Structure 1
Amino acid sequence: MSDHQLPHEKGFHVSWDQLHRDARALAWRLDGKGPDNGAWRSIVAITRGGMAPAMIIARELDIRVVDTVSIKSYDHQAQSEANVLKAPDPELVGDGTGVLIIDDLVDSGRTLEKVRELMPKAHFATVYAKPKGEPMTDTFVTGVSQDTWIFFPWDMALQYVEPYRGTD
């Protein structure tokens, strides 16, 4: 038996319902923690994974100003150098004061490190965090082991699965 596991062998499957619950839990942790009498000025979602949690958090915290930052740090399930493809509106975010940066997951922390260069005073929040990336996030909901591959609902499709025992 090989010691090497494929991503699905140590996978954490997240349903839409679970993501919604976890993003709401993140919103509750962030509620009242902004620098403007507890309020946040805006949200910047890290695309693409941060968009769904950012939408839920924006709704829960009644934040109407939402922008995106596009970072590419994966090629075919392997991490690569983090590159900014699209930065948020500099007039909107400034140095990041009062801005929530939202992503689905912090893995190595390289993506958040790159975004922190753009907005050093922003508050970084992720739904899930792996140990190597935890120091780069200010708030997260669920920690997972470094060798766990998270399957997000936007990466999955429903399909029929044969029963484990027999076909009767």
Structure 2
Amino acid sequence: MSIIKHYLSWAEIEELVARLAHQMQGCHFDALLAVTRGGLVPAGLIAYHLGLRNILAAAVQFYSGVGQRTAAPTFLQFPADPFLSNKTILIVDDIWDSGKTISAVRTRVLAAGGQPVTAVLHYKPRASLFDAQPDYYVESTDAWIVYPWEPASEREDATQAHA
């Protein structure tokens, strides 16, 4: 079984972000919490669309070394509870694959007394380890998504594949 890779352009990202932000028009969020690293670009773009200026970051990893996955996440950076407590927090990542990362962030926001709302560009329901799904997403897919902000080596693969 071969992996289907879908390479996105910046123009496609702008269109996906506009569609995602449109779904959230009229919703109130006290802050936007960007999940690093993949969620940084979509979070910044969504913040512009929704007029949000209070942007926080969550750095999460599920590995302890090269290729060594861990069961529990390590939070390398996370906002202090007072920034989340009694606030509606829009959590943004690029993709919900297994869902482990955004679910860990969501759980931590809940523990701090916040109301989490999740948003991603792409959702992989067949890969998800959770019954829950993102509150907002634009596309459902099984493909390996390659975003334009990913390392050049991934982008070079796209050039060779389309040559």
Cα pair 1:112 1:136 within 8 Å, conserved: no
Letter of the 1:129 counterpart:
Y
Q: For 1:152, which of 147, 151, 155 is the aligned residue? A: 147
Percent sequence identity over matched residues? 26
In 2, the alpha carbon distance for the partners of 1:156 and 1:130 equals: 22
Q: Under a length normalisation based on structure 1, what TM-score does the superposition of the two structures give?
A: 0.77
Letter of the 2:14 counterpart:
H
The answer as to 2:118 corresponding to 1:127 is no
Q: Deviations over 1:5-30 (max 9, x none)?
A: 3xxx4111111221121112111111
SS at match of 1:140: strand
Cα pair 1:109 1:134 within 8 Å, conserved: no
- CA positional deviation for 1:135: 2.1
**Could you tell me which residue of structure 1 aligns to residue 101 of structure 2?**
111
Letter of the 2:147 counterpart:
F
The answer as to 2:43 corresponding to 1:54 is yes
Q: Which deviates more from structure 2 when the two are superposed, residues 77-86 or residues 47-56?
A: 77-86
| Matches for 1:73-92 after TM superposition, within 5 Å | 73=62, 80-81=70-71, 82-92=73-83
In 2, the alpha carbon distance for the partners of 1:104 and 1:12 equals: 14
**Could you tell me which residue of structure 2 aligns to residue 23 of structure 1?**
17
SS at match of 1:94: coil
Q: Which deviates more from structure 2 when the two are superposed, residues 110-119 or residues 68-77?
A: 68-77
Cα pair 2:21 2:50 within 8 Å, conserved: yes
Letter of the 1:19 counterpart:
I
* Structure 2: stretches of 5+ with no match in the other structure: none
**Could you tell me which residue of structure 1 aligns to residue 139 of structure 2?**
142
Distance change >3 Å, CA 15–CA 91, structure 1 → 2: same
Distance change >3 Å, CA 134–CA 149, structure 1 → 2: farther
- CA radius of gyration, larger in: 1
In 2, the alpha carbon distance for the partners of 1:162 and 1:139 equals: 31
Q: Under a length normalisation based on structure 2, what TM-score does the superposition of the two structures give?
A: 0.79
**Aligned-residue CA RMSD in angstroms?**
2.6
* Structure 1: stretches of 5+ with no match in the other structure: 34-38
Letter of the 2:140 counterpart:
G
Distance change >3 Å, CA 20–CA 162, structure 1 → 2: closer
